[in-house]
Amino acid sequence: SQKIEQNSEALNIQEGKTATLTCNYTNYSPAYLQWYRQDPGRGPVFLLLIRENEKEKRKERLKVTFDTTLKQSLFHITASQPADSATYLCAPVSGSARQLTFGSGTQLTVLP
């Protein structure tokens, strides 16, 4: 069956450092992988999408990589700030699918 694993439920880092979050998937051949951010009491908010033929995608301080051989995506936040503290969710998506299946999320805390 399809499985999505995100690294450690919680990740604490110091302000200014780079946060790296991992999303591993099995029994999937996703054409896309989406990343979302969720704050307490709010719905998930879309951040970035990367396609299977893209190795890397950047948006401001965010960078996503996608390795279809390792079946893994890495999500980096550089120069992290306390405002980056949130739960981050990944969702690998098959090419024809409209629905998303989310990982369990990684709760990131950036300490001042």
Partner 1 sequence: DAGVIQSPRHEVTEMGQEVTLRCKPISGHDYLFWYRQTMMRGLELLIYFNNNVPIDDSGMPEDRFSAKMPNASFSTLKIQPSEPRDSAVYFCASSLEGEGNQPQHFGDGTRLSIL
Nearer residue to partner 1 within complex by CB, 35 or 110: 35
Among 1, 53, 69, 96, binds partner 1 (CB under 8 A): 96
Are 13 and 110 within 8 A, CB to CB? Answer: yes
DSSP 69: T
Among 19, 93, 108, 110, binds partner 1 (CB under 8 A): 93
Q: Does 102 bind partner 1 (CB under 8 A)?
A: yes
Starting at the edge strand found earlier in the chain, the sheet holding 19-26 runs 3-6, 19-26, 72-77, 62-67, 56-59
Could you list the residues that contact partner 1 (CB under 8 A)?
Answer: 30-32, 34, 41-46, 49, 51, 89, 93-105
